[in-house]
Amino acid sequence: MDLFDSLPIEQTGLTAEQEIHALRAELAEQNYKYYVLSAPTMSDREFDEKMHRLQELEAKHPELSDPNSPTQKVGSDISKIDSFPRIKHRYPMLSLANTYSREEVEDWVRKLPPGVEIVAELKYDGLSISLWYEHGQLVHAVTRGDGTEGDDVLPNIRTIAAIPQTLTDAPERLELRGEVLLPWERFEALNKQREEQEEPLFANPRNAASGTLKLQDSREVARRGLTCYLYYMLGEQLPGTTHYERLEQARRWGFPISDAVRVCQNVDEVMEFIAYWDTERKNLPVATDGIVLKVNSLAEQEELGYTAKSPRWAIAYKFAAERQLTLLKQITYQVGRTGVITPVANLEPVQLSGTIVQRATLHNEDFIRQLGIQEGDRVYVEKGGEIIPKIVGKAEDNTSGQPCQPRTPGFITHCPECGTELVRVEGEAAWRCPNEVSCPPQLKGKLEHFVSRKAMNIEGLGSETIALLYDKGLLHSIADIYSLRADDLAAQERLGDKSAQNILASVEASKQVPWPRVLFALGIRMVGETTAKKIAKRFRSIDALQWASKEELTGIEDVGEQIADNIVAYFADMRNLEIITRLQAAGLQLAATEGPATAELPQVLEGKTIVISGTFTEHSRDEYKQMIEDYGGKNSGSVSKKTDFILAGDNMGPSKLEKAHSMGVRLVSEQEFLQMIHG
């Protein structure tokens, strides 16, 4: 059962009390999925409509008020595990009241005091962040959390080049708030990579940015390429008397401030700004979902004040997602590298946000059943985040009047490629084809994964070449790659002698790829790049891993029961063992080349949280981070009450030093640390 029971809202037939309780449960569930899991299952508009309905009901029935109602609280993005230190906000970090109605925007403007200036800005669709500077140094980066406290994700924020690490001529204490974003280009590349590895796709850049910012590996965060826009300044004795003046000052200090900001004198100028950006935003490199309007005068902001959830001096106008009605002509099914069956909706072509949409993913059987759709239905299609087509519902009248393929009564039962009966593993949403040996898409997918850049990095064997060699009978398993001959390759269409030699040279070079990447390349279900590294650290060779028990495997960080079962099943299959034997004979690195296994090292730092600061002479910072993990400790990027000690080098950061002294955290020198772990 999920954390919350799913409660579909049927207003007809429910009492006011029943509907209020049902709405509260459903909105709480969606807040959890949106803020914590970064995997919402409800559109923003549907969520907002349900929230407004709940507000109306609670206003009519004050006797049913509840301080824990979603109408009274900001949705929380605080991690459920102690991944990051938690920091209490100096100023509450509230959400904004929002509307999809331009008439309501006009009403809000006209209710303001006469002559009030309004600053109109783009509403960027990312993860809210609060940057704290002390004495010119960036010391905290706190997520919205529940509005009262949030997670300090400073190490990951430091990877964003646009954010200044130090300031000059700035107040002693300063706070900047804004949105962390993943640009469209980076988002598409990330989802393409996840699709290749058959990992769940991010629904939109906001979810991708949220998931990225909560990663424990700052190096992976840096690779994904987050960016940021800041939109509000807080603190004591700050320059300027208006919001706009402070934005301009922040820009002079080097903060990333959007150019799409306008001071409006009246409602007509506000409407002009909204109308312009409703179209032009589609040309921006990052996602936006509306316009934010703020009273410009800081004194007038203070006078207008706040509600429990939002400031009265600001409002958000949200753009409605473009939606079209079209015919679901046919549902087809794709087979992935691991045998996962993905249903695809083939649609009557329809124009949506400037492009022609003909196909949309249906994810899995549960998604189809939830929407209640089948071939021949008329369905509503939206572009999720203005880029990914998705079906969001069907028309009540399903009579299309147009010819279509025969209806499919339910999800297919056999593989569309090889005819094998499908299986569904308990606890998983997807159906799979279990025929890993002779199902063509699975075999080709495994080959493509094996030669990919992050795996064996074999150049010249792209998807088309792999398909060609598969069809010619030259490739049927990853081990066949190491039996390829130059004359066989050169004889193929579009290859020739030079291409053949280049491919074989890259194949030979792949024999030096280290053990963790080889393990990842094998394509064991759910064993991604990061998980493979952790497994390879614990089991230093494939021979050791082959005999690992489920209990030993689940003792590794991030290896749950499903992954452990997949590994055990992989090595129980004689066909996989034959492939491994051939790879060993070919000379691949199926064992670590040096260093003791983690399990052999004394876990003298077990249970300790350690911060590294300064420069060192014996080892690099990255090497010390690895040592901390190898000896059982946990790295942290910031000093908190949970910090056991700071590994302090030369030129230690002044903010960390000051905080260590104020909190009584012990400083350990480089030599003391080495003595501690080596004895």
Task: Please state whether beta strands 634-636 and 609-613 pair in parallel, antiparallel, or not at all (unpaired).
Answer: parallel
Q: List, in order, residues 6 or more apart from 486 with CB less than 8 Å away.
A: 497, 500, 501, 504
373-397, pLDDT tens digit by residue? 888 899 988 875 555 688 888 887 6
CATH number of 440-586: 1.10.150.20
- Domain 16-72 = CATH 3.30.56.10: no
Q: State the burial class of residue 432 (Cβ atoms within 10 Å of its Cβ: 0-12, 13-18, 19+).
A: buried
Model pLDDT, residue 99: 86
CA–CA separation, 416 vs 422, rounded Å? 10
Any idea which of 46-50, 146-150, 166-170 has the lowest mean pLDDT?
46-50
Model pLDDT, residue 577: 94
408-466, pLDDT tens digit by residue? 457 899 999 999 999 987 767 789 998 887 899 999 999 999 999 889 999 999 889 99
Specify the 3-state DSSP secondary structure of 53.
helix
Q: List, in order, residues 6 or more apart from 203 with CB less than 8 Å away.
A: 39, 40, 384, 385, 388
* pLDDT over 90, % of the chain: 42
CA–CA separation, 586 vs 512, rounded Å? 11
Beta pairing partners, 177: 130, 232
405 is written with which tokens? 């393929």
468-478, pLDDT tens digit by residue? 999 999 999 99
* Amino acid identity at 53: R
Model pLDDT, residue 374: 87
Asked if pLDDT for residue 100 goes beyond 90, the answer is no
CA–CA separation, 5 vs 1, rounded Å? 7
Average of pLDDT values for 646-655?
81
Model pLDDT, residue 43: 67
Asked if pLDDT for residue 352 goes beyond 80, the answer is no
Average of pLDDT values for 642-651?
88
CATH number of 601-678: 3.40.50.10190
* pTM beyond 0.75: no
156 is written with which tokens? 């990951």
Q: List, in order, residues 6 or more apart from 418 with CB less than 8 Å away.
A: 433, 435, 438, 439, 440
CA–CA separation, 507 vs 482, rounded Å? 7
**Is there a contact between 95 and 73 (Cβ–Cβ < 8 Å)?**
no
**Which helix (DSSP H) or strand (DSSP E) does residue 388 occupy?**
strand 388-394
Asked if pLDDT for residue 406 goes beyond 70, the answer is no
Read off the pLDDT band of 545 (50, 70, 90).
very high
Asked if pLDDT for residue 646 goes beyond 60, the answer is yes
Eight-class DSSP state of 135: T
Q: Nearest Cα to 653, choosing from 139, 133, 173, 169?
A: 139
3-class SS letters over 548-585: CCHHHHHCCCCCCHHHHHHHHHHHHCHHHHHHHHHHHH
CA–CA separation, 152 vs 131, rounded Å? 10
470-504, pLDDT tens digit by residue? 999 999 999 999 999 999 999 998 888 999 999 99
Q: What is the dihedral of CA 642, 646, 647, 653, to 10 degrees?
A: 130
Q: Nearest Cα to 309, choosing from 27, 584, 643?
A: 27
Q: How many CB atoms are closer than 10 A to CB 612?
A: 20
**Which helix (DSSP H) or strand (DSSP E) does residue 86 occupy?**
strand 86-88
455-469, pLDDT tens digit by residue? 999 999 988 999 999
Model pLDDT, residue 400: 47
Annotated domain spans of the chain: 16-72, 86-318, 323-431, 440-586, 601-678
CA–CA separation, 130 vs 93, rounded Å? 9
Model pLDDT, residue 133: 95
Eight-class DSSP state of 453: T
Q: Nearest Cα to 318, choosing from 339, 293, 341?
A: 293
Homologous superfamily, domain 86-318: DNA ligase/mRNA capping enzyme (3.30.470.30)
Read off the pLDDT band of 182 (50, 70, 90).
very high
278-305, pLDDT tens digit by residue? 888 878 889 888 999 999 999 999 999 9
Average of pLDDT values for 239-255?
94
CA–CA separation, 33 vs 26, rounded Å? 11
Model pLDDT, residue 395: 85
* Amino acid identity at 394: K
Any idea which of 329-343, 366-380, 627-641 has the lowest mean pLDDT?
627-641
Model pLDDT, residue 403: 44
Q: Nearest Cα to 76, choosing from 116, 22, 36?
A: 36
The residue from 33, 60, 111, 123 that is catalytic is 123
* pLDDT over 70, % of the chain: 88
**Is there a contact between 449 and 338 (Cβ–Cβ < 8 Å)?**
no
Task: Please state whether beta strands 378-384 and 388-394 pair in parallel, antiparallel, or not at all (unpaired).
Answer: antiparallel
282 is catalytic: no
CATH number of 323-431: 2.40.50.140
Distance, first Cα to last Cα, the chain: 48
Phi, psi dihedral angles at 21 (to 5 degrees): -65, -40
Average of pLDDT values for 72-88?
63
Q: 57-88 burial, b if ≥16 CB within 10 A, otherwise e? A: bbeeeeeeeeeebbbebbbbbbbeeeebbbbe
CA–CA separation, 213 vs 130, rounded Å? 13
Specify which of 20-29, 80-89, 664-673 reaches the highest per-range mean pLDDT.
664-673
**Is there a contact between 422 and 341 (Cβ–Cβ < 8 Å)?**
yes
